[in-house]
Amino acid sequence: MKKRLLSFVLTTAMAASLLAGCGSSAQQGAAAGNTAGTEAASSGDTAAADDGAQAADQDTAADGSSGEMTGSSGEVGDNDGKTVRIGVICSLTGGSAIYGEGAQNAVDMAVEEINSSDSEYKVEIINGGKGVDDASDAKQAINAYNSLMKESPDAVVGCFFSSVTLPIAEQASKDNMLLLATGATNKDVTLKGPSIFRDCFIDPYQGKMAAQFAKEKGWAKAAVIYAKDDDYSNGLKDAFIENAKANGIEVVYTGECTTKDADFSSQASQVVANGADFLFYPCFLDTVPLLVGAARDAGFEGAIMGGDGWDGSDTTGIEDKFENCYFTNHYSSEDTAPAVANFVTKYTEKYGTESLNACAALYYDAIYMLAEAAKNGGGCDTASLVKGMTGMTFTGVGGTFTLDGNGDPQKSVAINTYEGGKVKWLMTLSPEGSKE
């Protein structure tokens, strides 16, 4: 992987312009304790009927016939049309601030690397090089997006959460703006229009891989506890249950909670009473220690697993209870692939390890993807970037993947576990299911 990444660095130079703001309805509720994102995401979905017309408009723009799609400005002209101007949106405050910190650091690092090469294209992060804060809130995320649009970016990167990304994707499609989502795993994000892409896997795929992992480990009776007020949690729950049954795993109990719950003793007792040997908890990092603690206190000794929302969970004081716990993620910092090792080494030297999370890796890859899109499309205006992004095959920290017809990557999934309370890479599952 590193070979292609380094080759790309040497052949592509860009100065990036940072746009902040990210979110998903599930992540918003869990990490920030906010319900506005779910409401906004729901209202955004009501505009789905407009997608056909928006897609037609986008097709016209992608052919380079629409001036609105260029996103160019006087600054681009000053650079002879060789600078991709990028807006970045991420969560910089609240319960998800650690994600935003990683995103900002990774974007800074990618920009420095790209622009120090001798490539034809440069990148610039608008808003003074800083990401705009979405505060894990859908309304604030839209405000962040609108503030960036005033600077006429060529592309926007974000967000990390689906609930805040969905309304932005809706608006970006109307604006014929290229949006490259990072951690927004809700399947509907890229369906908003042909200018919407992402570099993370989608919830149905993540749930499928979790069920496949459970089957490979020989667990036969699964319990599921999910947050009923969170889109992310609902999506993973549905995908896991469907694939668990297809793999011969019996779902013996399905329990509900909310993103604001702090007591899981009742659900945990039902998991034990129903004889489950595996518990799937597709929720976010702030409630994970509470759930794991409650399950172990109830006498549950089986495996507990979650999705990428577990990344960064605090195990302090209950390290032993996280034994036999697992989660799917976009990458592992312990992966021995050259591209991963290179990223981890450089990031750690610059920023330490506290914010070295999957969010950082996804934003890092996103900047490189836009640089490659400019090269592929033959220009840094939005239409050229959309052309260069469509069907792209890319190698980066998240592995080698190709964007499908919806703009979604078909990529490997890292399975992480815990040893002494610390995250430990266990294996990587490819789209075909084989272990790497």
Short-list 121, 63, 69, 75, CA closest to 368: 121
Mean pLDDT by 10 residues, the chain (436 residues): 34 33 34 35 37 38 34 39 96 92 98 90 96 96 98 97 94 98 94 97 92 95 96 92 96 97 98 98 95 98 96 95 97 92 97 95 98 96 98 95 95 94 91 58
What's the per-residue H, E or C state across the chain? CHHHHHHHHHHCCCCEECCCCCCCHHHHHHHHCCCHHHHHHHHHHHHHHHHHHHHHHHHHHHCCCCHHHCCCCHHHHHCCCCEEEEEEEECCCHHHHHHHHHHHHHHHHHHHHHHCCCCCCEEEECCCCCCEECCCCHHHHHHHHHHHHCCCCCEEECCCCHHHHHHHHHHHHHCCCEEEECCCCCCCHHHHCCCEEECCCCHHHHHHHHHHHHHHHCCCEEEEEEECCCHHHHHHHHHHHHHHHHCCCEEEEEEEECCCCCCCHHHHHHHHHCCCCEEECCCCCCCHHHHHHHHHHCCCCCEEEECHHHCCCCCCCCHHHHCCEEEEECCCCCCCCHHHHHHHHHHHHHHCCCCCCHHHHHHHHHHHHHHHHHHHHCCCCHHHHHHHHCCCEEEECCEEEEECCCCCECCCEEEEEEECCEEEEEEEECCCCCEC
Residues β-bridged to residue 123: 84
**CA distance linking residue 163 with residue 148, whole number of Å:** 19
Residues β-bridged to residue 425: 416
Do you find a cis peptide bond into 200, omega within 30 degrees of 0? no
Pairing type for strands 221-227 and 278-280 reads: parallel
Taken in order 274, 301, 95, 97, the sign of the CA dihedral is negative
pLDDT of residue 18: 31
Short-list 224, 82, 93, 103, CA closest to 159: 103
**CA distance linking residue 389 with residue 396, whole number of Å:** 15
Angle CA(392)–CA(393)–CA(396) in degrees, nearest 5? 115
| Burial status of residue 318 (CB atoms within 10 A of its CB: 0-12, 13-18, 19 or more) | middle
pLDDT of residue 435: 57
**CA dist 365 to 14, 27, 189, 397, Å?**
13, 21, 18, 7
pLDDT of residue 17: 33
**CA distance linking residue 196 with residue 156, whole number of Å:** 10
pLDDT of residue 119: 76
Which are the contacts of 122, defined by CB distance < 8 A and separation ≥ 6?
Answer: 13, 14, 15, 79, 82, 83, 84, 114, 115
Q: Which residue has the tokens 């000794």?
A: 301
Short-list 159, 90, 157, CA closest to 123: 157
pLDDT of residue 432: 64
Neighbour count for residue 115 (Cβ, 10 Å): 19
**CA distance linking residue 342 with residue 336, whole number of Å:** 10
pLDDT of residue 56: 36
**CA distance linking residue 348 with residue 355, whole number of Å:** 9
Structure tokens at 40: 């906004």
Short-list 357, 295, 409, CA closest to 103: 357
Q: Is the entire prediction scored with pTM above 0.75?
A: yes
**CA distance linking residue 34 with residue 32, whole number of Å:** 5
pLDDT of residue 410: 85
